[in-house]
Amino acid sequence: MSAPITQDLVTIPRKLPEGPTNIIGLTRPQLRDALIAVGTPEKQAKMRVNQIWQWLYNWGVRDFDLMTNLSKAFRVTLAENFVIELPEIVTKNVSTDGTRKYLVRIAGGHEVEVVYIPETDRGTLCISSQVGCTLTCSFCHTGTQKLVRNLTAGEIIGQVMLARDDLGEWPEPGTRTYDSRLLSNIVLMGMGEPLYNFENVRDAMNIAMDPEGICLSRRRITLSTSGVVPEIARTATEIGCLLAVSFHATTDPVRDKLVPINKRWNIEELMQSLAAYPKASNSERITFEYVMLDGVNDTDEDAKRLVSLIKQYNIPAKINLIPFNEWPGAPYKRSSNNRIRAFADIVFKAGYSSPVRKPRGEDIMAACGQLKSATERARKSRKQIEAEAGMKPE
Ligand code: SAH
Ligand code: SF4
């Protein structure tokens, strides 16, 4: 008789990669545990975390040996067990309007794009959370690229650190600068859906907000989501940043086509979760992003439906109108300036701020929705995109 077939349900732990740990991206508790694991006495661990934290995130130092308030022996231990590793800037393009686009290489040779947008009263860094995206919004260039992988917390905060390097913005060791920062705001509006990489985004943003380091206020960080409803409440409690939502349509059939995650969580469910967003208040309004697509979502009726939906759910909101940025093979056209103005007017008269987002860095393909790393282009044809969007080919 043959032996009964049994299934081995024991999970064999995956062998961890050999070698030192990257210290960038560890949260304070993770860093504390890691220091204790390499022999730091528990009683000293908190102080050591504070010291290392300041060198890394307040002064931007990349060499343990320069951390001069640590003993030589401790610096050697650190160097033996940890590395300070950031992604690498492969290329930098500067637009005629001052926008800088960095192509950044992460482990494994993948690339993401990071965009710095200088304005008179602020400087905003648009960072990526994933290589590619699992979602397939039909107007978005990133959506034509398959998800390659989630970024680690170190790779997410690393984008901020690289930009500070390039802007020359780390204060001299021993000093602090809070005023007139070049990099004053972060928006999670680059490649990927941040709420599908929640833990890493959360940890990276908590590092960005830490008062002993980069020290950006939570109100200077905006996370944009296409509408991952179950993670919206967590964003408020575990990150506490401002929220933007890629709304783009006022009826379910149209939103299903533009933002297919709508088939999973529809407009009603999304609006309910936004109405419950505990941080939402008049001073911390939720941004409704609305891309203006010619003949698709840009009528006066759309504008009226948009404001009545927001009123119905009583959501403190501002509406950010985004002229569609074209990309090669895109199945849509940008609405005319007159149409955008008429739409904005209806929204404004209904009592909502309705700024039209000025496309920045278009000449270097750095504008919203144009981001896609050259090496990973999926090269979907126009036909494929239209088919997925449920549109009739021309
Ligand atoms: N995945 C997140 C964040 C990245 S997209 C999200 O969808 O919200 C950042 C913003 O750019 C979103 O509002 C998105 O809808 C918008 N966008 C994408 N493609 C665009 C395009 N071609 N033109 C204008 N805006 C676009
Ligand atoms: Fe992904 Fe956002 Fe682009 Fe949609 S708009 S495909 S969620 S990056």
Identify the domain containing residue 68 by its residue range. 21-83
The confidence score (pLDDT) of residue 386 equals: 46
* Burial of residue 73, with CB atoms counted within 10 A of its CB: 0-12 exposed, 13-18 middle, 19 or more buried: exposed
Contact 24, 84 (CB under 8 A): yes
136 shares its domain with 155: yes
Query: Beta strand 130-131 with 221-225: parallel, antiparallel or unpaired?
Result: unpaired
User: What's the pLDDT band for 377 if we cut at 50, 70, 90?
Assistant: very low
172 shares its domain with 157: yes
Q: Is 139 in the pocket of ligand 1 (CB under 6 A)?
A: yes
258 shares its domain with 134: yes
Contact 322, 368 (CB under 8 A): yes
| Nearest ligand to the C-alpha atom of residue 194 | 1
CA distance 72 to 6: 55
169 shares its domain with 254: yes
The confidence score (pLDDT) of residue 12 equals: 42
4 domain-assigned: no
Q: Which of 83, 113, 131 is the last residue of a domain?
A: 83
348 domain-assigned: yes
120 shares its domain with 267: yes
Residue 389 CA to ligand 2 center (angstroms) comes to 13
Q: Which of 60, 83, 106 is the last residue of a domain?
A: 83
The confidence score (pLDDT) of residue 380 equals: 40
Q: Would you say residue 295 has pLDDT above 60?
A: yes
CATH of the domain at 361: 3.20.20.70
Residue ranges of the alpha helices (H) in 313-394? 337-349, 382-388
171 shares its domain with 131: yes
Q: Is 126 in the pocket of ligand 1 (CB under 6 A)?
A: no
Residue 121 CA to ligand 1 center (angstroms) comes to 23
Average pLDDT taken over every residue of the chain: 88
Q: Which of 61, 83, 105 is the last residue of a domain?
A: 83
68 shares its domain with 128: no
Ligand 1 atom closest to the CA of 225, numbered from 1: 8
261 shares its domain with 324: yes
The confidence score (pLDDT) of residue 375 equals: 41
| Nearest ligand to the C-alpha atom of residue 195 | 1
The confidence score (pLDDT) of residue 142 equals: 81
Q: Is 365 in the pocket of ligand 1 (CB under 6 A)?
A: no
382 domain-assigned: yes
> What string of DSSP letters covers 248-314?
--SSHHHHHHHSGGGGTS-HHHHHHHHHT-TT-SSSSPEEEEEEEBTTTS-SHHHHHHHHHHHHHTT
Pocket of ligand 2 (CB under 6 A): 133, 135-137, 140, 142-143, 192-193, 226, 246
Q: Which residue has the tokens 């001073």?
A: 283
Residue 189 CA to ligand 1 center (angstroms) comes to 7
Residue 310 CA to ligand 1 center (angstroms) comes to 20
User: What's the pLDDT band for 279 if we cut at 50, 70, 90?
Assistant: confident
Q: Would you say residue 373 has pLDDT above 60?
A: no
Identify the CA nearest to 259 among candidates 216, 302, 227, 298. 227
**How many Cα atoms occupy the beta-carbon half-sphere of 275 within 13 Å?**
12
| Nearest ligand to the C-alpha atom of residue 188 | 1
The confidence score (pLDDT) of residue 384 equals: 47
327 shares its domain with 247: yes
51 domain-assigned: yes
296, two tokens: 């698709």
Q: Would you say residue 378 has pLDDT above 70?
A: no
Q: Taking the CB of residue 316, how many other CB atoms lie within 10 A of it?
A: 17
Q: Is 136 in the pocket of ligand 1 (CB under 6 A)?
A: no
Q: Would you say residue 369 has pLDDT above 80?
A: no
Contact 119, 181 (CB under 8 A): no
Q: Would you say residue 366 has pLDDT above 70?
A: no
| Residues forming the active site | 113, 368
| Nearest ligand to the C-alpha atom of residue 289 | 1
> Does the CA dihedral 229-230-234-235 come out positive or negative?
negative
Q: Would you say residue 300 has pLDDT above 90?
A: yes
5 domain-assigned: no
Q: Domains in the chain: how many in total?
A: 2
The confidence score (pLDDT) of residue 338 equals: 97
Q: What is the pLDDT of residues 11-46, one digit of tens each?
A: 344 444 568 999 999 999 999 999 999 999 999 999
Q: Which residue has the higher pLDDT, 216 or 391?
A: 216
User: pTM surpassing 0.85?
Assistant: yes
The confidence score (pLDDT) of residue 175 equals: 83
Q: Is 247 in the pocket of ligand 1 (CB under 6 A)?
A: no
Long-range contacts of 363-366 (CB under 8 A, 24+ apart): 363/95, 363/96, 364/93, 364/94, 364/95, 364/99, 364/101, 365/101, 365/327, 366/93, 366/95, 366/99, 366/101, 366/113, 366/115
148 domain-assigned: yes
Long-range contacts of 352-359 (CB under 8 A, 24+ apart): 352/307, 352/310, 352/317, 352/318, 352/319, 353/285, 353/318, 353/319, 354/318, 354/319, 354/320, 354/321, 355/318, 355/320, 355/321, 356/321, 356/322, 356/323, 357/320, 357/321, 357/322, 357/323, 359/323, 359/325
The confidence score (pLDDT) of residue 367 equals: 63
User: What's the pLDDT band for 186 if we cut at 50, 70, 90?
Assistant: very high
Q: What is the pLDDT of residues 263-277, one digit of tens each?
A: 999 999 999 999 999
> What string of DSSP letters covers 31-72?
HHHHHHHTT--HHHHHHHHHHHHIIIIIS----GGG-TTS-H
The confidence score (pLDDT) of residue 357 equals: 85
32 shares its domain with 147: no
The confidence score (pLDDT) of residue 368 equals: 63
Q: Which residue has the higher pLDDT, 327 or 377?
A: 327
The confidence score (pLDDT) of residue 291 equals: 97
Contact 371, 113 (CB under 8 A): yes
119 domain-assigned: yes
Average pLDDT of 147-170? Answer: 96
9 domain-assigned: no
Q: What is the pLDDT of residues 143-154, one digit of tens each?
A: 788 888 999 999
Cα–chain center distance at 64: 29
Mutate which of 112, 133, 261 for ligand 2 pocket (most atoms within 8 A of beta carbon): 133
200 shares its domain with 251: yes
Residue 67 CA to ligand 1 center (angstroms) comes to 41
Residue 218 CA to ligand 2 center (angstroms) comes to 23
Cα–chain center distance at 181: 20
CATH of the domain at 43: 1.10.150.530
Average pLDDT of 289-315? Answer: 97
45 shares its domain with 128: no
The confidence score (pLDDT) of residue 176 equals: 77
Range with lowest mean pLDDT among 322-326, 334-338, 374-378: 374-378
User: What's the pLDDT band for 178 if we cut at 50, 70, 90?
Assistant: low
The confidence score (pLDDT) of residue 390 equals: 47
The confidence score (pLDDT) of residue 87 equals: 97
Helix (H) / strand (E) element for 233: namely: helix 229-234
The confidence score (pLDDT) of residue 70 equals: 97
Q: Is 152 in the pocket of ligand 1 (CB under 6 A)?
A: no
Helix (H) / strand (E) element for 187: namely: strand 185-188
User: What's the pLDDT band for 283 if we cut at 50, 70, 90?
Assistant: confident
